[in-house]
């Protein structure tokens, strides 16, 4: 019903009550900055860990595509490619 | 509050792995089902949200926290242990005017209604109150136990709870505006929203026939108290028998529709393949050739007296748990200690109504060694649980018979 600007989102991220996310540590590898910079705008990154390591190239590709096409995530083609590669390599089976 | 970091203190190897971001082989919470994805077992932590006891955190934002099994030893789930499930990350604060009890309103209308209406909490409370004890279970409860795994929130057993809900009948509210004869669905929108404009808002509908049942409510009380913030304050929709996706939290808009509700959350989300499950309740205006919206819950049960891997003394052990279904009522629960070759009828406990958790228990002989106990519920229309998973790509309706293996000492 309501929408957030990125500025407001930063305030929400600063609230400890619902967003104690700082302890989430994704694997340090090429592309992790693209994942943190794009995916974390809408959801915490534990969704990635939770869905591992059973995902494969096809299912991670489908998931990132769904986030862009169905959920409206404003992710550039270059970033989407880097994110998919990172997820497949680091959180794939 | 117990954090993953704190749990790992003293386990230096584990702590080192955690800081490197390597998924842990061992679960951070003892007793998490082994069937969950390794990454799920590694990142889940016990953590208390405001107003809640420590629950099993699967995701921080949107928040998805499940209830530990120990809270299912009773047929009513305490409010402060009731699971939390959100799709979208913009959740109004408790004092936001959209959901503050002093300023909250729900708007009634739509092209299938004869008029419009705005109700505040006093208006709602002035209508005849109805109470129903009903299970609220996420469609994807136990998704994490699917084999093969499917993407989504990787729930264990606790994306559910049973509460005594009190509120106004949705039917009485709809009668105030009047439904046109062309009305086919009633849609719900809550105050939660997406982070970005382009993300589909979470809007759900149910068929008119379900909306006008006597126990479909706009509830404002849960177990005799105001509904907790993270369970949909100050008012949410209660759809007894149907999965939680229709139980809209923080309800602010209700529309009668003459055309099927569209949007991502009606299709492709929350759908099951046609013909795979023994479902009675249909949602015909949303069906297509291959898929149909999920509707009523499938029959299920859970052993809650003992954790899997628990130790008991030889002699006799009393196994207990809960059973539930889509509202036909539990006829019987049977237990097997030989993998399903022979079954013993358990005693059913307190009957809080056909939509509630139904307790069961039975004393079984226990000889030294391993004892595996499996539970199977049957409902009033003869439906039983499945022995092998009914696979579907979204991971819904997991009702494989639950078992625990005990060490008899």
Angle of the A32-39 helix axis to the A77-91 helix axis, nearest 10: 120
* Cα B354 to Cα A34, B111, B240, B324, B401, distances in angstroms: 50, 34, 9, 8, 20
CA-only gyration radius of chain A, Å: 13
CB contact under 8 A, B59 and A43: yes
Q: Looking at the complex, does the CB of residue B153 fall below 8 Å from at least one CB of chain A?
A: yes
Residue B23 is predicted with a pLDDT of: 40
CB proximity B140 to A under 8 Å: no
φ/ψ of B266, rounded to 5, equals: -95, -35
State which residue of chain B sits closest to A21, comparing Cα positions: B60
What chain B residue is nearest to A90 in terms of C-alpha separation?
A: B22
In angstroms, the first-to-last Cα distance of chain B is: 34
Q: Are residues A3 and B5, on separate chains, in Cβ contact within 8 Å?
A: no
Residue B187 forms contact with A (CB below 8 Å): no
**Is A5 an 8 Å CB contact of chain B?**
no
What value does the mean pLDDT of chain A take? 85
Query: Which of B5, B7, B21 to mutate against chain A (most A CBs within 10 Å)?
Result: B21
Whole-angstrom CA distances from B393 to B143, B220, B270 are 10, 35, 11
Tell me the pLDDT of chain B (409 aa) as tens digits.
333 222 223 233 333 333 334 343 446 788 899 999 999 999 999 999 999 999 999 999 999 999 999 999 999 999 999 999 999 999 999 999 999 999 999 999 999 999 999 999 999 999 999 999 999 999 999 999 999 999 999 999 999 999 999 999 999 999 999 999 999 999 999 999 998 899 999 999 999 999 999 999 999 999 999 999 999 999 999 999 999 999 999 999 999 999 999 999 999 999 999 999 999 999 999 999 999 999 999 999 999 999 999 999 999 999 999 999 999 999 999 999 999 999 999 999 999 999 999 999 999 999 999 999 999 999 999 999 999 999 999 999 999 999 999 999 9
DSSP B279-292: -----GGG--SSEE
User: Structure tokens of B149?
Assistant: 């795994």
A91–chain B nearest CA distance, Å: 9
CB-closest option in A17, A27, A50 to B50: A17
- Note the pLDDT of residue A23: 87
Instruction: Evaluate whether B160 touches B56 at the Cβ level (below 8 Å).
Output: no
pLDDT score for B29: 87
Q: Give pLDDT, residue A7.
A: 43
For chain B, say whether A57 makes contact (Cβ under 8 Å): no
In this structure, the number of other CB atoms found within 10 A of the CB of residue B401 comes to: 19
CA–CA separation, B408 vs B395, rounded Å? 34
Distance of CA B228 to the CA centre of its chain: 16
- A18–B49: do the CB atoms touch at under 8 Å? yes
B237 token code pair: 């929709």
Q: Say if the Cβ atoms of A72 and B198 lie within 8 Å.
A: yes
Residues in B touching A72 (Cβ below 8 Å): 194, 196-200
Residues of B in contact with A74 (CB under 8 A): 196, 198
Tokens coding B114: 């004869």
Residue B145, min C-alpha distance to chain A (Å) = 12
Rounded CA Rg of chain B = 22
Put simply, whether B345 touches A (Cβ < 8 Å) is no
B369 burial via Cβ count (<10 Å: 0-12, 13-18, 19+):
exposed
Nearest CA in chain B to A32: B21
CA dist B232 and B265 (Å) reads: 18
How many helices (H) and strands (E) in chain B? 6, 25
Q: Are B349 and B396 in contact (CB under 8 A)?
A: no
Phi then psi for residue B391, to 5 deg, are -70, 140
Question: The tokens of B61 are what?
Answer: 């934002």
Among the partner residues A1, A43, A44, nearest to B191 by beta-carbon distance: A1
Q: How many residues in chain A? A: 93
Minimal-distance CA residue of chain A relative to B151 = A51
Parallel, antiparallel, or unpaired for β B251-257 and B185-190? Answer: antiparallel
Angle at A36 between CA A31 and CA A42, to 5 degrees: 135
The predicted structure's pLDDT at residue B27:
61
**Contact at 8 Å (CB) between B91 and A15?**
no
Contact A71 B264 (CB under 8 A): yes
Question: Which residues on B lie below 8 Å from A54 (Cβ)?
Answer: 37, 148-149
B22: chain A residues, CB-CB within 8 Å: 27
**Which residue matches tokens 């309740």?**
B281
pTM given for the model: 0.91
ipTM of the complex model = 0.90
Nearest CA in chain A to B22: A27
H/E stretch holding A48 reads helix A46-50
Rounded percentage of chain A residues whose pLDDT exceeds 90: 74
For residues A82 and B43, what is the distance between their CA atoms, to the nearest angstrom? 24
| Per-residue pLDDT tens over the stretch A23-55 | 899 999 999 999 999 999 999 999 999 999 999
CA distance B263 to chain A (A): 10
Handedness of CA B95, B96, B98, B102 (dihedral sign): positive
What are the E-state strand segments in B138-290?
160-169, 185-190, 203-207, 217-222, 225-226, 236-238, 251-257, 271-273
């Amino acid at each position: 019903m309501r929408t957030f600007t990125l500025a407001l989102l930063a305030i929400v991220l600063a609230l400890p009550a619902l967003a104690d996310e700082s302890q989430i540590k994704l694997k340090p590898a090429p592309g992790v900055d693209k994942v943190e910079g794009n995916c974390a705008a809408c959801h915490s990154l534990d969704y990635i860990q939770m869905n591992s390591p059973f995902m494969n190239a096809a299912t991670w590709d489908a998931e990132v595509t769904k986030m862009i096409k169905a959920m409206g995530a404003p992710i550039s083609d270059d970033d989407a490619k880097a994110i998919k590669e990172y997820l497949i390599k680091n959180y794939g089976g | 509050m117990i954090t993953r970091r704190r749990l790992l203190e003293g386990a230096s190897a584990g702590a080192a792995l955690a800081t490197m971001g390597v998924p842990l082989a061992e679960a951070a919470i003892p007793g998490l089902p082994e069937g969950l994805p390794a990454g799920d077992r590694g990142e889940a932590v016990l953590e208390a949200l405001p107003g809640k006891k420590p629950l099993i955190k699967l995701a921080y934002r949107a928040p998805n926290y499940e209830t530990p099994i120990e809270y299912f030893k009773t047929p009513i789930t305490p409010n402060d242990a009731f699971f939390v499930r959100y799709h979208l990350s913009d959740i109004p604060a408790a004092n936001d005017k959209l959901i503050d009890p002093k300023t909250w309103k729900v708007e009634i209308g739509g092209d299938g209604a004869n008029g419009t209406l705005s109700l505040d909490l006093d208006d709602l409370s002035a209508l005849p109150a109805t109470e129903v004890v009903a299970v609220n279970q996420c469609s994807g409860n136990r998704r994490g136990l699917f084999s093969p795994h499917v993407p989504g929130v990787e729930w264990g057993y606790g994306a559910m709870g049973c509460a005594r809900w009190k509120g106004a009948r949705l039917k009485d509210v709809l009668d105030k505006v009047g439904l046109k004869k062309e009305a086919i669905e009633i849609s719900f929108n809550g105050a939660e929203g997406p982070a970005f404009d382009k993300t589909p808002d979470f809007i759900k509908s149910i068929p008119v026939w379900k909306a006008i049942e006597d126990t479909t409510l706009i509830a404002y009380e849960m177990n005799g108290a105001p509904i907790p913030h993270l369970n949909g304050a100050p008012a949410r929709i209660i759809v007894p028998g149907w999965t939680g996706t229709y139980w809209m939290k923080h309800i602010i808009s209700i529309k009668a529709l003459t055309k099927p509700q569209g949007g991502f959350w009606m299709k492709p989300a929350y759908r099951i393949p046609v013909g795979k499950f023994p479902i009675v309740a249909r949602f015909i205006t949303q069906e297509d050739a291959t898929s149909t919206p999920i509707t009523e819950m499938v029959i299920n049960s859970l052993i809650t007296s003992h954790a899997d891997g628990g130790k008991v003394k030889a002699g006799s052990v009393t196994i207990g748990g809960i059973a539930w279904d889509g509202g036909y009522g539990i006829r019987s629960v049977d237990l097997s200690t030989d993998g399903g070759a022979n079954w013993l009828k358990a005693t059913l406990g307190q009957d809080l109504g056909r939509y509630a958790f139904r307790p069961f228990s039975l004393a079984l002989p226990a000889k030294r060694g391993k004892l595996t106990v499996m539970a199977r519920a049957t409902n009033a229309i003869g439906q039983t649980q499945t022995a092998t998973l009914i696979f579907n790509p979204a991971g819904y309706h997991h009702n494989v018979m639950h078992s625990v293996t005990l060490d008899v000492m």
